[in-house]
Amino acid sequence: MGGKTFNAACVVFVLLSVCFADRVNVSVQVPVTDATVYSNGFAFIKRSNTLNLTGGEISLLIKNFTPSGIVDSISVSDDKGGVREVSRYELVNQRTDTRYLTFDEILNGSADSSIRVLTKDGWQSGVLSWFSPDKLGIKVENKLVVIRFEDIEQLETPYSKYKQDVVINETERGLRIDERSIGGTHRISMSYLVPGVTWNVNYKYYISSDADMGDGSMQAWADVSNNAGEDWENVRLKVVVGYPHMLSYYPTNVRYYTESAYAPKALASDTGGSAIPGFVSSFLGEYCVYTLGDPITLKGGETRNLALFENPAKFRRQYIWDTTWERPHNVYKINNTGDQSWGSGAARVYMSGDFIGEDNIAYTPRGKEAEVTVAEVPEVVVKKQVNSTTAQEYKGARTTTYKVTLSLENRKDEDVELTVRDWMNSGDVVELSASSIPPKRDEQNKLEWTVHLNKGETSTISYTYTTTSYYYY
């Protein structure tokens, strides 16, 4: 096969490139303007800019375009250009730089030459014959004189070269957009998916007193980590509660350092409107979207805790014993009466400025309550006991009868109202036969009682239920 001749403009390595003889490379800036961060480690990025471009076949080169961006998700729009190809590029550029020689290199260049050395004993002349990291040796009348560097006050050498020009190869990587352009002002817009961006919502709930019910102030914050390999400068940021269906990409979620940005502090007695102006929440399809009111800057590798909103929210306090727990818990039920749904995340409760506990809350739509457990209640003593279990076999079925006792004792110096939750075992048919206190049955197997206990009072809940399981042959 005969040799091939390449156009000189295309000697550089370009991934997936078609070399046009008249194509012009144009370096451009298309900054990030919008970032929408999802709960699954991906972000949807938008970039745009207005550029003056020449006509003809051109390649727009966006230097240092994020290496983790998913190329086949990139969408590009140019109002005065027909986009033909989008791909990554790699250019090797050469530049000449001046490098100053090290002291060792100057001594090497002076080897076997006459030098003069000034020490405290005066000038010493001879031929430079040898040197080490801390000494040099000069030949004087067939003798080697060794002088320590620390004793040298001045050194004269005929070697005058102290710098040199060096050629440095620099690899430039980025995104290339090939298009046929109409000369003039172009509006370039693009979007793409990128992994390595995460966010988590967290809450701070402020109350002023240890009451059974009252008013509080709920702050929501977005903890956002940008490990997408690009900087975001003054972008419009949205964070989305939801997990869009994605193909098998593999995001890398690594935090490098953290910077926090704090909203105006909420006082325990401040239960007014939001202290964070401009915040917007909305729904995008099935997703709840929080849009920050002000543009933000988030460097690559940076994590920031950004204020979302602050709204008044009423609470009611309950003592709850879930029988899977050893002790009852002190739980605050916080009513979401604001305009925003609350995504699942950590919620911290503060009373008169002091931290009293934290818990993870579930996704809480508007008009619903979030439960935040802040502490155990050891002075309310509880115990679950399964008194007996009997089983009876039938043809093709087995029925088991359970008798359960829940013992409660209030050792606090005040009356309490205790919510008790217990679960019956599963089966094809589950029936509650009897209960000393009528329960609320929220789910097939979940039972819930509300019991008022005076100071020092004890109480017992006894109930019986059956489960029937059928055999399938």
Cβ-count burial 161-181 (b if 16+ within 10 Å, e if not): eeeeeeeeeeeeebbbbbbeb
On the CB side of 281, CA atoms within 13 Å amount to: 19
Cα separation, 155 vs 256, in Å, equals 48
Residue 9 vs residues 24, 242, 386: alpha-carbon distances, Å? 9, 47, 84
| 60 CB-contact burial (10 Å; exposed 0-12 / middle 13-18 / buried 19+) | buried
Which pLDDT belongs to residue 167?
A: 83
Residues in the chain: 473
On the CB side of 147, CA atoms within 13 Å amount to: 27
Which pLDDT belongs to residue 256?
A: 29
Which pLDDT belongs to residue 341?
A: 83
- Are 306 and 279 in contact, with CB atoms under 8 Å apart? no
Residue ranges of the chain whose pLDDT lies below 50: 1-21, 250-279, 285
Which pLDDT belongs to residue 288?
A: 78
For 95, the token pair is 């530049």
Q: Rounded to 5 degrees, what are φ and ψ at 106?
A: -65, -40
Which pLDDT belongs to residue 331?
A: 95
Cα separation, 344 vs 362, in Å, equals 4
Which pLDDT belongs to residue 1?
A: 39
pTM of the complete model = 0.66
Q: Each residue of 326-340: pLDDT tens digit?
A: 999 999 999 999 888
Residue 95 vs residues 11, 228, 340, 352: alpha-carbon distances, Å? 16, 30, 55, 63
Cα separation, 294 vs 314, in Å, equals 28
Which pLDDT belongs to residue 247?
A: 66
Cα separation, 203 vs 358, in Å, equals 9
Q: Rounded to 5 degrees, what are φ and ψ at 429?
A: -135, 125
Which pLDDT belongs to residue 4?
A: 35
Choose among 218, 223, 189: nearest CA to 205: 218
For 111, the token pair is 């080897």
